[in-house]
Amino acid sequence: MLNGWILFHHELDPAIPEVPEVLRFQEAASAMDIDLAVYDPHRFDLIVGGDEDWAVTYNDSPMGRPDFIICRTGAETDYYTLALLRHFERRGVRLINGPATIERVADKLHTLQSLNRAGLPIPRTILGTFPIDVDLVERELGFPVIVKTLKGTRGAGVLKCENRSQFEDLAGLLESAEAKADFILQHYVRASHGRDVRVLVVGGRVVAAMERRSLTGGFKSNVSLGGVGVAYNPPPEMAELAVKAADILDLDITGIDILFDEEGYRICEANSAPGFQGLERASGLDVPSTILEWIVTTQNAPAPAPAAAESSVLADMIFGGRTGLRAITDRNDQFRDFASAMGVRLFGASMSCLGQAFAPTLLVDARSRTGLGLRALFEGRSRTDLSALDDSEQERTLIVVLTLAIWAAILPWIAGAGAMASGFLSLMALCFPLLYALTAPSGRVGRSVSTLAKSDRG
């Protein structure tokens, strides 16, 4: 018999919206002969550095090691819960989902950054705090605009400002209240007004989906806020988008919210502990049983090796993560313009260096030791010793080309260009040193060294 835990912050009071879903898990587990208990993470005590590696108590009673843990704390996950999950993770307990994933998804901006870095479509978003430049919001997002808190669930903490006047009123209210919270501002996707799709992904596979519709004509379609959910068969493109999002965010179980767009679809949010009451009513799927069956069938499968922390940091540094280079442009719009301009200038300078390398002129002074040595070599006096020759000018030119190429490769990412455009420009820029090194001293085209030497003598 498998022994599992559910971590949940509240008492099991059916009046609390999330409680019926937790009870459904226990009901399904009982039918599958799985021992599934519910625990409040704040009642655990951890002992680190003691004689025993597994030193966990709950209400002062020692606890055994579970086979798996399902975390249903969602957006309410706090530091204590994350620390508890990390303790279990380091001791080999299977977690659904893991602490790093839960922490990332609880932050809506971090979620969007991860998806955008992977090239998945999201609404255009600004991180802001009040007071804020209203002209910037109007220029980048337009109106209406969606205002969201960084953390929130079930449609809470989301507001739509229809026009500039409403947004200025909101900004003035928050400024007068000296509100210090950060918000994300999003472009309003008109094609998805009052409707979206919740896609449930379990173990990298879409198991159910529903279209949520507002019954009041408002822009929120959450079932928990009075919206209605109807069964929905997602097109292959939408299903693939949801699976990719779950994979990028490293979510074993997730609800991916997708908006309709004139050009296709856009990912709105991801949830690490998705509610499923409306989805069950709409689709008829027994969600807890589906999840528990997946856990049972994959329980003894070898766990994938965790990625090294350095690789994630390097990816963030190059492609722009939470602490990456692109974070500079998230805070300063002027730097984006500066980086774009510098990228164009450096790209042009690199092209100029490349053109000079192909030009039919000597890249070394014909009167220098290197020039005389090369001339002797080309004229057949092959015994000339070139090992002691140097040309600092040639070396400096190569260093300049290499430096310009590196900067030209990095700046498109800093400037926030798309992945395809940035990748193409980076590859082009990094080819400059190679082409320069492969270019003959007198250029691939034009007159040969001997011809130039003769003309010099003439």
Least confident of 134-138, 272-276, 295-299, 306-310: 306-310
Kind of pairing between the strands at 61-62 and 56-58? antiparallel
> Which of the four pLDDT bands, split at 50, 70 and 90, describes residue 47?
confident
Task: Give the pLDDT score at 46.
Answer: 84
Task: Give the pLDDT score at 239.
Answer: 97
Whole-prediction pTM: 0.65
> Which of the four pLDDT bands, split at 50, 70 and 90, describes residue 348?
low
Tens of pLDDT, residue by residue over 286-307, are 999 999 999 999 987 665 554 4
> Which of the four pLDDT bands, split at 50, 70 and 90, describes residue 445?
very low
Asked if 68 contacts 88 with a C-beta cutoff of 8 angstroms, the reply is no
Task: Give the pLDDT score at 12.
Answer: 87
Query: What is the C-alpha radius of gyration for the chain, rounded to an integer number of angstroms?
Result: 30
Higher pLDDT, 353 or 184: 184
CATH architecture, domain defined by 194-305:
2-Layer Sandwich (3.30)
Q: Print burial letters for 320-359: b (CB count within 10 Å at least 16), e (below 16).
A: bbeebbbeebbeeeeebeebbeebeebbebbeebbeebee
Task: Give the pLDDT score at 49.
Answer: 72
User: What's the mean pLDDT in 142-160?
Assistant: 79
User: What's the mean pLDDT in 226-246?
Assistant: 91
Task: Give the pLDDT score at 320.
Answer: 41
Higher pLDDT, 388 or 307: 388
- CATH superfamily of the 124-188 domain: ATP-grasp fold, A domain (3.30.1490.20)
CATH architecture, domain defined by 3-105:
3-Layer(aba) Sandwich (3.40)
Task: Give the pLDDT score at 322.
Answer: 37
Most confident of 128-142, 312-326, 335-349, 437-451: 128-142
User: What's the mean pLDDT in 76-102?
Assistant: 93
Task: Give the pLDDT score at 129.
Answer: 78
Domain boundaries, the chain: 3-105, 124-188, 194-305, 327-457
Q: State yes or no: pLDDT of 167 exceeds 60.
A: yes
Least confident of 44-48, 215-219, 452-456: 452-456
Task: Give the pLDDT score at 292.
Answer: 97
**Is the peptide bond between 97 and the residue preceding it cis, with omega within 30 degrees of 0?**
yes
Q: Which residues pair with 126 in a beta bridge?
A: 185
Task: Give the pLDDT score at 52.
Answer: 66
User: What's the mean pLDDT in 399-403?
Assistant: 66
User: What's the mean pLDDT in 385-398?
Assistant: 56
Most confident of 144-153, 279-288, 350-359, 382-391: 279-288
> Which of the four pLDDT bands, split at 50, 70 and 90, describes residue 233?
very high
Higher pLDDT, 132 or 339: 132
Mean pLDDT (the chain) is 77
* Helix axes 392-414 and 333-358, enclosed angle (nearest 10): 140
Tens of pLDDT, residue by residue over 108-118, are 899 999 999 99
Task: Give the pLDDT score at 273.
Answer: 93
